[in-house]
Chain A
Amino acid sequence: MSRSKLAFLLLAAMAAPILLWPGDAGAVPVFARKYGFACTMCHSSFPRLNDFGVRFRDNGYRLPSRESEERTVLQGPAPFAARVSGGYDYDQFQDSPEAVEEVRQFRLDGLDLLSAGLMARNIGYFAVYVPQIDASRGVAGQDGTLEMASVVFSHLGSSWLNVRAGRFEPAYVAFSVKRHLSVTPYEIYDFSFPGGSAFSDTQTGLELYGQGRHGLHYAVGWLDGADSDSTGANLSDDPPADVYARVSVVFGAGEGQTAGHRIGIVGYSGKARSLTAGPGSAPSDRKCYQRYGADASLNYAQLNLALQYLWGSDDEGFWGATESQDFSGGFAELTWQPMTRLAAFARYDSVDAPDAATQEGISRTSAGARYSFADQLALHAEYSRATTSFRAPATPDMQEDFFTVRLDFAF
């Protein structure tokens, strides 16, 4: 039996019990369990939030207009949930026509443990713990981290003033990578100077946000700054110096997620150290970097078009250059949800790297679909091709073809 047939049979065997899963299974995570709601109350297709979910989140994890009846975490079911995904991955890396590397495997890919709820009538919290898992055959490793742990003080006098403190997904990220349908990254969010963190990473600090009439939303924040990856470049005792502001406007009924249209602009100014000589090298002096962006989320019938463009400007030294370096990029993502259980998406990412970078540019084309068997269980299929071009003459493009079929399970 060929490997592909074996893979298909194994996949079918995995899917069979799920296809027989009762359609009205009721156990759903944290908030859904608290209220007795289905996940689709807040998610157009889990984990992507719909307009109601956005309002619920922005209202400090309280049902709008029913705040006085809310229960704290001590008055309801245990506020814990978990999310795990796993399936079959195919990854092919091609550095040159002759150098092709393939990885095919079944594997569990990620486990998040989540707790959220209200501590008092207008004080909510949201925490996500990612446990340390060593990579082994069949299990994708992950670094243990407290991905989110934030407290929200809601409606301090009016809807114009809410405060979020702790580690959270800042509002300057227009399209949440924690809640998007795709498992492949938004390249422009991931792009950073050596040793820097992704733009979409969770951050530690303080955020003020609010909304008023005519669909106007704002958020300003003060952050500890770019946390680094395992290189430790930015783990020094530098005082927090990163600030940001975002303003968005929603036109029409909705929040721009699945109804209405949302446009926004964002500015971010940060200080960080880089590792221009590579991992393990001494970090550079503290330098400034800026990000500016514009985004739009447009809806028509069952279609959503998400557009993001970002410009980056890094002081000299971040890339080992003598002059400041600029880059830009963005993505356009079309999501189609013809029915509650099914969502499909297609996305194009592009990054034009700074002159000092080895890479000249990155492009990625992705397409996928997600079918929910039940509230808490989805089958996800996605194909993505990323191409990286290099400045050095005669260096061939590097290409990655990625395909995955996996189950996404939250409970």
Chain B
Amino acid sequence: MHGIRSVTLLALPIALFTMALTATRAGGGFLANGPLPPVPVPPDNPQTDAKIRLGAQLYFDTRLSADNTISCATCHSPEMAWANHGATDKGFRGQVGGRNSGTILDAAYMKFQFWDGRAGSLEEQALGPIHNPIEMGETLENVVLKLNAIPGYRSAFREVFGTDVDTGGIAKAIAAFERTIVSGPSPYDRYLAGEKGALSEAAVRGMNLFAGKAHCMPCHSGPTFSDQSFHNLGVGMSRPNPDLGREAHTKNAADRGKFKTPGLRNVALTHPYLHDGSAKTLRDVIDLYDRGGEANPNLDPLMLPLRLTEREKQDLVAFLESLTGTQPIVQNPTLPEDARAAARGGAGGAR
């Protein structure tokens, strides 16, 4: 009898341990931060080489703005990790927007676009800045007229979409190009793949903090390190007229001050940070989290003081730096000449 009890006593924890180990190896938790999967492509906008080439031209073409000075690349520059290093950017006639330009690098994986998530796809997002009076200041009708007057665009649209230039085609082509702006494996990915030397000791410590004491993973989870959701960190909420964030789109008071969780891949390259660009460095962001965000009535319940030590903060920065993957190399495309330039025999080019 005693023997049976002993066997039972031993067997139970061994069985549990085996189950636990199996589960860990198989799943790793449903918030696991794994490598990027293939880029999701909507069925109504399949990727083609011609469409991507057209999208690249449109992305770099300043003629999409009212005064022909601003292109998508002005604020989402490949030289600045497809973002911009200004806190907020100057747009049409030097107007300054209220939000930081997020990177389009890996934006193809995001369910929502813009800090307030008002666009549900890259196609939807692509047209937004064009007719935003602060950003490119143009009307969609006028852009269509302008592009239709450029023979190269008209023929390209006919080739790709079988129609003249229209807003739907503009959106689809830019989105198709943006779906190619995807980062490659980072040291973190190589570490996960078994290359243990890919991360420094500090980065490994930072990785453990990220999944533990620093409380990053509840929001920064999944392959993009974003929960694809919205949270209120309290940033700017004490200002007289704070940016309402997600509430401005949903009209739901519960969304006040909430902004999209940005992905963290390549985050070391995309400074400054937060929706208003108020954090110049990663360290500034970590300090914000360490003090539990900024108090306001709608502060996210996940925001809590962390009590991080100086070394722990440094380790977290080291880990975040390890999320920098290889960057897509894109040459500025040759832009179609407008009719007058073509008549003069001038050369087109990215402006």
Q: Which residues of A contact B (CB under 8 A)?
A: 23-24, 26-29, 32-41, 44, 50-52, 55, 59, 63-66, 69, 71, 76-78, 80-82, 84, 111, 113, 131-134, 213, 253-255, 258-260, 301-302, 337-340, 375, 411
Docked pose: A154 CA to B22 CA in angstroms: 30
Binds A, one of B12-20, B41-49, B79-87, B173-181: B12-20
The segment from B70-78, B206-214, B322-330 found at the interface with A is B206-214
Q: Which residues of B lie under 8 Å from residue A77 when comparing CB positions?
A: 19-20, 22-24, 26-27, 29
Across the interface, which residues of B come within 8 angstroms of A113, CB to CB?
Answer: 12-13, 16
Residue contact A37 to B291, C-beta cutoff 8 Å: no
A78-B312 contact given A36-B217, A41-B211, CB 8 Å threshold: no
User: Is there contact, CB below 8 Å, between B17 and A254?
Assistant: no
Chain B residues with Cβ under 8 A from A27's Cβ? 20-21, 24
Nearest residue (CB) in B for A39 is: B212
Closest to A114 in B: B16
Complex contact B23–A24 (CB within 8 A): no
- Minimum distance in angstroms from A25 CB to a CB of chain B: 10
The list of the 7 closest CB pairs from A to B, nearest first, reads A36-B29, A77-B23, A38-B212, A40-B212, A259-B305, A64-B301, A253-B292
How far is it, in angstroms, between the C-alpha of A28 and the C-alpha of B29 when the chains are bound?
10
Chain A residues lying within 8 Å of B213, measured Cβ to Cβ, are 38, 40-41, 44, 50, 340
Q: A131–B29 Cα gap in the complex (Å)?
A: 28
Across the interface, name the chain A residue whose C-beta is closest to B305.
A259
Listed in ascending order, the chain B residues whose CB lies under 8 Å from chain A are 2, 5, 9, 12-13, 16-17, 19-24, 26-33, 204, 207-209, 211-213, 215, 217-218, 221, 227, 229, 231, 291-293, 295, 297, 300-307, 309, 312
* A37–B29 CB distance below 8 A: yes
- B211 near A38 with CB under 8 A, answer yes
Chain A residues closer than 8 Å to B32, beta-carbon distance: 36
Could you say which residues of chain A place their CB within 8 Å of the CB of B227?
Answer: 66, 69
Count of A-B residue pairs with CB < 8 Å: 153
Q: Determine how close the nearest CB of chain B comes to the CB of A75; give it in whole angstroms.
A: 8
Cβ contacts under 8 Å, A66 to chain B:
218, 227, 229
Smallest Cβ-Cβ distance to B218: which chain A residue: A63
What are 17 A-to-B residue pairs whose CB atoms are below 8 Å?
Answer: A24-B204, A26-B28, A27-B24, A33-B24, A33-B27, A40-B209, A77-B20, A77-B24, A78-B22, A82-B13, A113-B13, A255-B304, A258-B305, A259-B306, A301-B307, A302-B307, A411-B16
**Residue in B2, B28, B208, B300 whose beta carbon sits within 8 Å of that of A24 in the complex:** B208
Complex contacts, A34 vs chain B, CB 8 Å = 29-30
Having A37-B217, A41-B217, A340-B213, one finds 20 other A-B pairs with CB under 8 Å, namely: A34-B30, A35-B29, A36-B29, A37-B29, A38-B213, A40-B208, A40-B209, A40-B213, A41-B213, A65-B231, A66-B229, A77-B23, A78-B19, A78-B22, A81-B20, A132-B5, A254-B304, A338-B309, A340-B209, A340-B312
Inter-subunit contact B305/A78 (CB<8 Å): no
Assembled-state Cα–Cα distance A50/B292 (Å): 14
Q: Are B302 and A65 in touch, CB under 8 angstroms?
A: yes
B291 is contacted by which of A24, A84, A132, A253 (Cβ under 8 Å)?
Answer: A253
**B302 — which chain A residues lie within 8 A by C-beta?**
52, 63-65
Residues in B whose Cβ lies below 8 Å from that of A259:
292, 304-307
Please, which residue of chain A has its CB at the minimum distance from the CB of B19? A78
Q: Is the interface of A mostly helix, strand, loop or mixed?
A: loop
Residues A51 and B305 in contact, CB atoms below 8 Å apart: yes
Q: Are A253 and B301 in contact (CB under 8 A)?
A: no
Q: Which residues of A contact B305 (CB under 8 A)?
A: 51, 253-254, 258-260
Contacts of B21 in A (CB 8 A): 27
- Give every chain B residue within 8 A of A337 (Cβ-Cβ): 307
In the bound complex, residues from chain B placing their C-beta under 8 Å from that of A55 are 301, 304
| Least CB distance, B211 to chain A, in whole angstroms | 5
| Complex Cα–Cα for A197 and B209 (A) | 40
Judge whether A253 and B30 touch: CB under 8 Å: no
Q: Are A33 and B17 in contact (CB under 8 A)?
A: no
Taken together as a complex, chains A and B put the C-alpha atoms of A278 and B30 apart, in Å, by 54
| A27-B21, A27-B24, A84-B13 as given contacts; A76 in contact with B304, CB under 8 Å | no
State A77–B18 Cα separation when bound (angstroms): 12
- Smallest CB gap from A80: residue in B: B16
In this complex, what residue of A is CB-closest to B215? Answer: A52
Contact between chains at B31 and A37 (CB < 8 Å): yes
Q: Please give, as numbers and ranges, the residues of chain B lying within 8 Å of A24 by CB-CB distance.
A: 204, 207-208
**Is A253's CB under 8 angstroms from B304's CB?**
yes
Within the assembled complex, what's the spacing in Å between the Cα atoms of A51 and B213?
11
Task: Report chain B residues within 8 Å CB of A134.
Answer: 2, 5
* Minimum CB–CB distance for B3 against chain A, Å: 12
Q: Which residues of A contact B24 (CB under 8 A)?
A: 26-28, 33, 77
Complex Cα spacing A340 to B308, Å: 9
Complex Cα gap A24–B211 (Å): 11
Nearest CB in chain A to that of B2: its residue? A134
Least Cβ distance of A377 to chain B in Å? 13
Nearest chain A CB to B311's CB is how many angstroms away? 8
A50 to B307, CA, bound (A): 11
Which residues of A are found within 8 Å of B17, using beta-carbon distances? 82, 411
Q: Is the CB of A36 within 8 A of B295?
A: no
Q: How far is the CB of A52 from the nearest CB of chain B, in Å?
A: 6
Cα distance A34–B300 in the bound complex, in angstroms? 22
Residue numbers in B under 8 Å from A38 (CB-CB): 208, 211-213
Give min CB distance, B238 to chain A, whole Å: 14
Closest chain A CB from B204 CB (angstroms) = 6
Question: Complex formed: what's the CA distance from A340 to B27 in Å?
Answer: 26
Contacts of B312 in A (CB 8 A): 339-340
